[in-house]
Amino acid sequence: MTPETVTTLMSEAIQLTLLVGAPMLLLGLCIGLTISVFSAVTQIQEMTLTFVPKIVAVFLALLFSLPWIMEKLTTYTTNLYSSIPTLIR
């Protein structure tokens, strides 16, 4: 296995990780920003106001994007396993 192959495999793995995590992270970021603006405007400094909606939003994003995530991970793993004979030469 050449260093270029290892670099390519690691690059694909990192890209897949970022792609799979993006829906939850982006939704959590948007909800957090919205709540922060609301908190600043109303001067409400309640800590549960920040955490509970973000947790619910991230859970819902995970729930709705789970089939897509599983399809991406399954495809990546299948391709990785099927390329093992060519990688070990």
Tally of helices (H runs) and strands (E runs) in the chain: 3, 0
* Region 18-44 average pLDDT: 91
Q: How confident is the model at residue 49 (pLDDT cuts 50, 70, 90)?
A: confident
Average pLDDT over the chain reads 91
Give the separation between CA 34 and CA 20, rounded to whole angstroms: 23
Q: Is the torsion defined by CA of 53, 54, 57, 59 positive or negative?
A: negative
Q: How confident is the model at residue 48 (pLDDT cuts 50, 70, 90)?
A: confident
Which of 24, 88, 16 minimizes the C-alpha distance to 55? 24
Over the stretch 59-87, which tens digit does the pLDDT of each residue have?
Answer: 999 999 999 999 999 999 999 999 989 88
Pull the structure tokens for residue 57.
């939003």
pLDDT at 44: 80
